[in-house]
């Protein structure tokens, strides 16, 4: 889980960020991105200790994600940026461009800026620093896995808050994904302001209300 970080360190780069997002696929809510830079000494020392088991957030149960989120948030050896792109931005830009915008905003919060960003997935347009795109990176890089957890937990909490603002959709359970229960609620109530109207299932139902 440190191969890509070590390659960058060996090349003379000291500040290497992991970058990932959460929420590209849901029908509702923002897309959230996180960027994290660890001190090299800490990451090498703790990869098999306090950070053991840190993985792609989709592979971790909710309690383990919350555990690592708390651990990372309190870590004095990590700099973290978390940012989002709103539903309005998703609908006006498209989800890919909005995701890249959220990633750029997260990276921009890191001071000093990283010399390299390791990004899960494909190349990112508009990232303010050089980056390396790694397909499946959240399961191959500890820095990306950490960013994955930060983004996922942050977004899940935002969706729980939205469930209070817009009850009846079950956001606290499915987090905006297109589950059968969510689609049934959409058919029953119609879209709310938290829904992405540029997404086909929401757009089709919008015509009926």
Rounded to the nearest 5 percent, the helix, strand and coil shares of the chain are: 45, 15, 35
Domain 3-206 top-level CATH class: alpha beta
Residue 94 has pLDDT above 90, yes or no: yes
Distance of CA 55 to the CA centre of its chain: 13
Residue 209 in this model has a pLDDT that exceeds 60: no
Q: What is the pTM of this model?
A: 0.96
CB 111 within 8 Å of CB 119: no
Task: Return d(Cα 209, Cα 193) in angstroms, integer.
Answer: 13
Q: What per-residue confidence (pLDDT) applies to 207?
A: 58
Beta strands in the chain (DSSP E): 16-22, 31-38, 78-85, 116-120, 131-134
CB 114 within 8 A of CB 17: yes
- What's the pLDDT at 16? 98
CA distances from 198 to 6, 83, 103, 122, 134 (A): 41, 21, 20, 22, 28
The pLDDT value recorded for residue 208 is 58
pLDDT tens readout for residues 146-205:
999 999 999 999 999 999 999 999 999 999 999 999 999 999 999 999 999 999 999 988
Q: Could you state, in order of their start, the residue ranges of all structural domains in the chain?
A: 3-206
Cα(115)–Cα(197) distance, rounded to whole angstroms?
37
Other C-beta atoms lying within 10 Å of the C-beta of residue 204: 10
Is residue 27 pLDDT above 70, yes or no?
A: yes
Contact 87, 176 (CB under 8 A): no
């Amino acid at each position: 889980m440190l191969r890509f970080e070590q390659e960058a360190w060996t090349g003379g780069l000291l500040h290497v960020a992991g970058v990932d997002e959460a929420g590209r696929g849901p029908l509702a809510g923002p897309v959230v991105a996180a960027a994290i830079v660890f001190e090299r000494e800490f990451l090498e020392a703790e990869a098999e200790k306090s950070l053991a088991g840190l993985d792609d957030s989709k592979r971790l149960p909710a309690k383990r994600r919350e555990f690592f989120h708390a651990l990372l948030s309190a870590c004095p050896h990590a700099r973290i940026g978390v940012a989002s792109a709103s539903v309005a931005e998703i609908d006006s830009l498209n989800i890919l461009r909005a995701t890249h915008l959220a990633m750029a905003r997260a990276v921009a919060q890191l001071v000093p800026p990283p010399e390299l960003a390791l990004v899960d997935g494909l190349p990112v347009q508009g990232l303010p620093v050089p980056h390396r795109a790694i397909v499946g990176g959240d399961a191959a890089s500890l820095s990306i896995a950490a960013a994955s957890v930060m983004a996922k937990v942050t977004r899940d909490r935002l969706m729980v808050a939205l469930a209070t603002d817009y009850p009846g959709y079950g956001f606290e359970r499915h987090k905006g994904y297109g589950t059968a229960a969510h689609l049934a609620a959409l058919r029953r109530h119609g879209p709310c302001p938290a829904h992405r109207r540029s997404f086909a299932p929401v757009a089709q139902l919008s015509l009926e209300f």
